[in-house]
Structure 1
Amino acid sequence: MGSKLKTNFVVQTKFEPFYVAGKIEVSRDGHRIFTSSGNSVKVFNVENGVAEKTIQTEESDQISQFLLNPVNEHLITASRNLLVREWSWTDSTCLKTWKAVHHSPISCMAFDSTGELLATGSGDATIKIWHSVLKCHTHSFRGSSGVVSVLKFHPDAKRGLLVSTSDDYLIRIWNLNPAKLAAALEGHFSAVSDIQFADDGLHLISAGRDKVLILWSLSTSSQIKTVPVFEEIERFIVLPASSAFPEFNTPEGPFNVLTGGARGVLSVWDLKNGRNLHPGSLPSESDAAVADHKRIIQLHFDRPSRRLFVVTVDQSILLYDLPNLKPSHQFSGYNDEVFDVKFVGDDRFAVVATNSPRLKLYNVTTADCKFADGHTESVLCVAVFHQSNLVVTGSKDCDIRLWRFSESKGSLKCVASASGHTSTVGALACSNSSKHPFIVSGSEDSTMKIWTVQQDKSDKRDSFSLHCIHTEVAHDKGINSVALSPDDKWIASAGGDKTAKVWKKEPFGLKGVLRGHRKAVWCVVFAPHDQIIGTSSGDGTIKLWTVSDLRCIKTFEGHDCSVMKVAFLSRGLQLLSSGSDGLLKLWDVRKNICTKTFDEHDDKVWAVEVSQDESKVLTGAGDSTFLLWKDVTEQELDEERQKQDTLIQEEQELQNLLQKNEFAKAFRLALRLDQPGRLLNIISGMLETETGQMEIKVAVRALEDFQLEQLLQYIVIWNTNSRHTYPAQCTLNCVFTSILPKRLLGLPKIKTLVESLIPYTERHASRLDQLHVSSMTYKYLSNNVKKLSELPSKPTTQLPVNGNIPYPDSASMEAEEEMV
């Protein structure tokens, strides 16, 4: 672990909600999933597990349904305000908008195989058919009872058939040419949840919540076979007749279906013979709660990739590669509030505690998520024995559970559980030594317990047991955090009574109380190498204390709200803290200052976890997201070094160009180096040559728009100084005479730049006018003085002695005037 100070972290992966409820759509290549929530549709990439795009309508346009065109993959969205939009989802552009002629929001949509006809069903019991290219209404079918729930076109567009279901349990077959009801199929006794056409195009298959599958003949509009399936079926798919599935022993033909429903298992049925070829595993009574989480609500089969998408009621999406009915990927669409998150294994996996009894194990590189069931109420805290890959969890059910993490399988298995607390277990800490492992727990019942972890090595089932060896009423209010020193000799606890306490492990006893915070202490942590304790509180401060004399040595102020978590970095030289406002702050301990603030969360950050090599950080918050951060300190230093090396080389190149009087090349290089002073000198040197202005025009024409805008900004600065007026105005003249006005008007800041140029340019023009008038006056006076100096000199007239002054005669005066 290095001791260099960290300067920056960036978000490497963001695990955010992408599916809450409703239907999903899958792209034609099977690589992207489309989900809707509120007024937006999110595009989730199943290859890297990232929500890569969001298509958003206006805030008031809540999306009721959406659909992908099977031909051009344009996205169709229907809003509750009865507006239908067509989008190009690749660039989030709305292509067309039109008004639906329904009287209530659209409840279902379907495209025909050509992608030209779009059918919409609504709660007003009507079905409308639109031409997706012309955006015109072509058909209207009435006669359904209640909300139209399912629509399906016949795969052969020439047949012109549309099938629908509604609240009256009937299946209606509509003929498009002529527009009329062809048949109404009666056979289900509950809501029809799904309908599909068989591959031969001659038969129809339906499923409902009456726990039966029915095979229909389209030619006779009659039932052929009814198969009881003993569960409510939500969705099913017809297995391709051309593909063999020897694992299921499926017979040849178009009547093999795969179903998913209330039991949460996938079953394969042969409708022709009424056989269940793959019944799946039935949940036992003890697994009833788990079965509720696994209830299947949607299936989607991508035939080209033979990939099956399964959606369960707990917002999970599973990917199966047929014919193996084993999930290859599993994604959690929604996490609710993230209470705690910890690295496990080689830091490729993270254990996440959310507002759910199910513990989640994420592969942070692929976003695969697996669930671990055991707790009966929400899991609040997680701790890890890194040397033995054991995970400890505490919950609102007052229990503590021990889990074995398998890195090869990427799974968690509960190996022990213990009860003892009488209220919520919200704080856990694991010993650092593997010789005598133990756990420290803190609860809302104000007690702290120490548990020993013992393994039964004679039992091949990987059995452990937890034994409580000490119980202490540690605080006057609930315990929010517990921590162990690196040598396991000291225990620290933090509570809602505004104090933190230090305890000796053996023999157990209180060493002292850390007082100074004005509100509840949310977190306590030991420094990795020094005898220092860090605490964070609801009063917005972080304090450092010495273990030896329990003295507060530093206080960090900067958060404007409660500080939920704090962690040491860089061998104790830095701190990373999180606040209830969603901000993270990086602190320099020596300088006692905040060096960096990160704003990526929208709600209180409950969890901060630093990897063992400090190259990664995990944060979890109340905004249902957790983030994987990457330390980019070395990367930024390398980039800075490269920039400095490049700058030195370009500086040398600029000097060489100036020495060679290659001003045109030097012009472009000085602009790229962002050196306005050097560029001004270069322009002044170019203007001293006969071809200077022509070379400036050539250089200006070769500039990109951003460089041209940069040059105009320089001119604005030069123009404010009267000494630089001439090169500034000459350069401006070259810009205006060599660049088209249309291009200049397209610059983002051209208005501001021109407004900045006008006042000083007018002042310089006024000075030039004054100078011109003054020079003309000077010229006039100098010419007159010169002519006067050229007049012939006359002898000096002697005044008479009596004082009488002789006056010149009129002729001499006229002669002098003519000369003047």
Structure 2
Amino acid sequence: MHLITASVDTRIRIFDLSSASARSGASAKPQAVLEGHVSVPRGLDVTRDGKWLVSGGRDSVVLVWDMSPKEETAAKKSGKAKGKERDATPVLVQTIPILERVEAVGILRADDDGVAGAPSGARKFQVYTAGEKGVVKVWDVKTAKILFTLGQEQEDIDEEQEELRQITHAIYVPTTSTIVSIHGDQNILFHSLSTRSLTRQLIGYNDEIVDSTYLSPYQSTSLSSPKRSDTHVALATNSSLIRVYSTSSLDARLLSGHSEIVLCLDRSANGGILVSGSKDRSARIWSPLQPKDENAASSIPEWRCVAICEGHAESIGAIAMSRKADSDTNADQDGLRFMFTGSQDRTIKMWDLSSVSLTIPSDTDKTPVIKCKSLATHIAHDKDINSLDVAPNDKLLVSGSQDRTAKVWEIDYVYSGSKTVRGEIRLVGTCKGHKRGVWSARFGRTERVLATGSADKTVKLWNLDDFTCVKTFEGHTNSVLRVDFLNAGLQVVSSGSDGLVKLWNVREEVCVATMDNHEDKVWALAVSSDERSIVSGAADSVVTFWEDCTEEQEVEKENKRTEMVLKEQDFLNYISLNDYRNAILLALAMEQPGRLLNLFRNLSSLSTPSVLHAPSITGNASVDEVLRTLAGSDLTRLLRYVRVWNANAKTSSVAQKVLHAIVKLRAAEDVMKAFTDDTLVTGPRDQDQGGSTALRELIESLIPYTERHLVRMEKLVQESYVVDHLLGEMDDGMFGLNEDDEMEVEDGDLIPLSVDVMVEA
């Protein structure tokens, strides 16, 4: 058994792990030291039979070593043979120039059916290399030639981007015939050797997310729902690469083409085309490759740039496509019409997309990129343009800017063939009212309204007939960065710098839901075509998918309401049957102290005469028995209700009656145990009351009010004697009793027969 290591001194050392020094734990000396690299070796691999060793390093070469020569050959030459035959120093047999820094190297199995190279019948000896250029190359060792390349080499990129895209490590998985490459930008790519394509990609770090949009690259095969479904989501991050995720498997693809950070994204009317704007002052149109078969539609497609728009003098920060697909524009039913871009140069450009081809065969290696023609250019605002949106009927355009205004433009687009295309925009209104810059503007899908979000922490709704503000939504604690409509315009969703996503009811002007899953500015917000889900992305690199659960909540509320109605009916039935045990237990289970209060208050009227004459504390012997046998959890809940009742003078009599019954009927140990079952006497959690309660706290809250009620009752008793005294004085003095009005009784008592009161008119 041997151990092979590579060191920063450019040497490769071979250790014999079966030697006596290695087994004893002492410092072992290498059996052989290989010198051949002039830079750090980064990869080592040995064939399964142990005869060949390959090494690759940052000196841009791969060295092939023969591990099979015997020491006797070297001994014969030196004349020092001693009859022992041991492994000698491996011999360098071949040097393969790679022309890039090598970070990983490995040997492919000769029986791997996915590896193509040597002619049929010849022995395969192939290695793979990965490194500086961000691609995996498969080499034929015998001819020192590249057989094929996995991945695409990027041209015209700066040193920083090259460092991020380089491969830092690569792993060969023979069981699946796959090579897994780990890149400097924390992405993991799975390359299939059989199909020579990218099968899966995992993105380890998204960086700051600045925009997002849903995509529908494939036509639905369902007869019940022939429309496209949103199966992917595109993200623009603090990078020149666009990330496209599958919403089901979270598999991802990176779209390269921009040379600077991508700032904005949008999609076509059917969601099948993606457009992007970047700091490199250009906009690009992306189209998916058509799958070869129907099964390919279930995987993530490969996207190609089909057109580019250049002409702005500054970064493009806003982009919007036409919302209608024109069948006359292109041979494809989903032909493109036009697109708008807004830039930091304060201009809006209108682009003709009628000549863009949307059908890309899957066997096309390179897609021709056309340059779109600008139809119109307007200086629209006094400051940077942050947002653009096109109305659903393609008649209006809105632009939001840092100059605190949102402007509405009328779109004039005429298509009369590929050679006759005319487009123009005309200002029709300005929405003024925000105190700070407008970050987002969106048209309503069903009503003639416009929603804007601003740095003044508000969302405003505007009437497109007279461009006046009709509603203002306040609730964010920082700038509102994105807004959009939901549920046919009945709701508005917004995201802000406070890391919150809020859902607003348009009619009532109230926030109905606040969704919190971000720790930084929520720059990206997109709504799916069916308005059933929302995706939000923030500066904290987190992407959150929100699903509309309104229907489920309504069903749950209806079920709870139905259950409550049934329980209330059961409660009334128990009362009518004088089944106080089940009535009290049900009221405690429903958490309805009001029903319990009425039950205890009306015991005298509900009870039968025989029950009333029975000795009891509460006025009903069966109720006394219920209080004596209550379970611990029910007892603690009832005592908390008593505490609330005792704090009110109107209900204090009922509270004192129930409390007196509990004290008389239950031992102190039972009450303490009821609280101890949850937690110790210092505090079980009482979520119903919204805080921590304990037996000690309960008693401390009962004593002051009880003492106050006692003082009040004593005062009432004293005042009752004053009334008796006044009545006695009135009988003896004011009216006077005549002898004729008295009659003698056997025991000598005098009973007044009548009292005549003279009232003068």
Instruction: Give the corresponding residue for 1:434.
Output: 325
The structural deviation recorded for 1:404 is 1.5
The structural deviation recorded for 1:246 is 5.2
Q: Alignment partner for residue 397 of structure 1, among 266, 280, 291?
A: 280
Distance 2:587 2:387 in 1: 58
Match for 2:494: what amino acid? S
The structural deviation recorded for 1:630 is 1.0
CA contact (8 A) 1:718 1:725 kept: no
**SS at 1:559 equivalent:** coil
Instruction: Give the corresponding residue for 2:209.
Output: 338
Range with greater deviation from structure 2 (364-373 or 678-687)? 678-687
The structural deviation recorded for 1:608 is 2.1
Q: Alignment partner for residue 525 of structure 2, among 608, 631, 636?
A: 608
Distance 2:67 2:593 in 1: 82
Instruction: Give the corresponding residue for 1:222.
Output: 89
The structural deviation recorded for 1:598 is 2.4
**SS at 2:27 equivalent:** strand
Instruction: Give the corresponding residue for 1:472.
Output: 378
Aligned length: 603
CA contact (8 A) 2:208 2:541 kept: yes
- Which residues of 2 match residues 172-571 of structure 1 at below 5 A? 172=13, 173=15, 175-183=22-30, 185-187=33-35, 188-196=37-45, 198-199=47-48, 206-210=55-59, 211-215=61-65, 217=67, 220=87, 222-225=89-92, 226-228=94-96, 230=98, 231-237=100-106, 239=108, 244-245=112-113, 247-248=115-116, 257-268=127-138, 278-280=147-149, 286=155, 294-301=165-172, 308-320=179-191, 324-345=195-216, 346-387=229-270, 389-406=272-289, 408=297, 410-435=301-326, 437-455=337-355, 466-506=372-412, 508-571=425-488
CA contact (8 A) 1:162 1:176 kept: no
The structural deviation recorded for 1:765 is 10
Residues 1:582 and 2:423 aligned together: no
Distance 1:731 1:276, change over 3 A: farther
Instruction: Give the corresponding residue for 2:420.
Output: none
Match for 2:250: what amino acid? A
**SS at 1:182 equivalent:** coil
Match for 2:204: what amino acid? G
For residues 137-167 of structure 1, the C-alpha deviation after alignment (integer angstroms, 9 at most, x for no partner) is xxxxxxxxxxxxxxxxxxxxxx6x7654442
* Percentage of matched positions with identical amino acids: 32
**SS at 1:601 equivalent:** coil
TM-score (norm 2): 0.69
CA contact (8 A) 2:445 2:485 kept: yes
The structural deviation recorded for 1:331 is 1.8
CA contact (8 A) 1:452 1:469 kept: yes
Distance 1:201 1:693 in 2: 85
CA contact (8 A) 2:101 2:132 kept: yes
- Which residues of 2 match residues 700-715 of structure 1 at below 5 A? 700=632, 713-714=640-641
Instruction: Give the corresponding residue for 2:657.
Output: 723
The structural deviation recorded for 1:447 is 1.1
Q: Alignment partner for residue 692 of structure 1, among 625, 649, 670?
A: 625
CA contact (8 A) 1:378 1:396 kept: yes
Match for 2:149: what amino acid? G
The structural deviation recorded for 1:265 is 2.9
Instruction: Give the corresponding residue for 1:167.
Output: 8
**SS at 1:455 equivalent:** coil
CA contact (8 A) 2:384 2:401 kept: yes
The structural deviation recorded for 1:198 is 5.0
Distance 1:712 1:190, change over 3 A: farther
Distance 1:757 1:425 in 2: 65
CA contact (8 A) 1:204 1:217 kept: yes
Distance 1:459 1:768 in 2: 86
Distance 1:303 1:651 in 2: 67
For residues 697-752 of structure 1, the C-alpha deviation after alignment (integer angstroms, 9 at most, x for no partner) is 6x44xx6xxx7875664565577632221344346747448669687539744984
Distance 1:677 1:431 in 2: 60
Distance 2:90 2:458 in 1: 73
- Which residues of 2 match residues 676-691 of structure 1 at below 5 A? 676=593, 688-689=621-622
CA contact (8 A) 1:169 1:190 kept: yes
CA contact (8 A) 2:450 2:462 kept: yes
Match for 2:381: what amino acid? H
The structural deviation recorded for 1:445 is 0.8
Distance 1:198 1:607 in 2: 50
Match for 2:211: what amino acid? D
Distance 1:737 1:544 in 2: 59
For residues 239-281 of structure 1, the C-alpha deviation after alignment (integer angstroms, 9 at most, x for no partner) is 568x64353368999986544222333344576x576684426
Q: Alignment partner for residue 649 of structure 1, among 562, 566, 570?
A: 566
The structural deviation recorded for 1:342 is 1.0
The structural deviation recorded for 1:632 is 1.0
Question: Which has the larger strand fraction?
Answer: 1
The structural deviation recorded for 1:638 is 0.9
Match for 2:116: what amino acid? F
Distance 1:519 1:769 in 2: 62
Instruction: Give the corresponding residue for 1:673.
Output: 590
Distance 2:176 2:619 in 1: 66
Instruction: Give the corresponding residue for 1:745.
Output: 680
Range with greater deviation from structure 2 (436-445 or 729-738)? 729-738
Alignment gaps of 5+ in structure 1: 1-158, 771-820
Match for 2:43: what amino acid? D
**SS at 1:180 equivalent:** coil
The structural deviation recorded for 1:640 is 0.8
For residues 282-332 of structure 1, the C-alpha deviation after alignment (integer angstroms, 9 at most, x for no partner) is 967847679766422123456777665321223211234665543321122
Distance 1:537 1:169 in 2: 59
Instruction: Give the corresponding residue for 1:55.
Output: none
Bigger radius of gyration, 1 or 2? Answer: 2
Instruction: Give the corresponding residue for 1:803.
Output: none
CA contact (8 A) 2:105 2:129 kept: yes
**SS at 2:115 equivalent:** helix
The structural deviation recorded for 1:394 is 1.3
**SS at 1:402 equivalent:** strand
Distance 1:504 1:693 in 2: 76
CA contact (8 A) 1:248 1:268 kept: no
Range with greater deviation from structure 2 (532-541 or 162-171)? 162-171
TM-score (norm 1): 0.64
Query: Root-mean-square deviation (CA), in Å?
Result: 4.2
Match for 2:660: what amino acid? Y
Distance 2:694 2:625 in 1: 25
CA contact (8 A) 1:455 1:465 kept: no
The structural deviation recorded for 1:434 is 2.1
Match for 2:183: what amino acid? T
**SS at 1:581 equivalent:** coil
The structural deviation recorded for 1:762 is 6.1
Distance 1:458 1:331 in 2: 28
The structural deviation recorded for 1:340 is 1.4
Instruction: Give the corresponding residue for 2:652.
Output: none
Distance 1:693 1:384, change over 3 A: closer
Distance 1:668 1:426, change over 3 A: same
Range with greater deviation from structure 2 (563-572 or 192-201)? 192-201
Match for 1:261: what amino acid? G
Distance 1:688 1:238, change over 3 A: farther
Distance 1:768 1:539 in 2: 54
Distance 1:690 1:258, change over 3 A: same
**SS at 1:310 equivalent:** strand
Alignment gaps of 5+ in structure 2: 69-85, 217-228, 291-296, 330-336, 361-366, 413-423, 604-616, 648-654, 687-691, 712-761
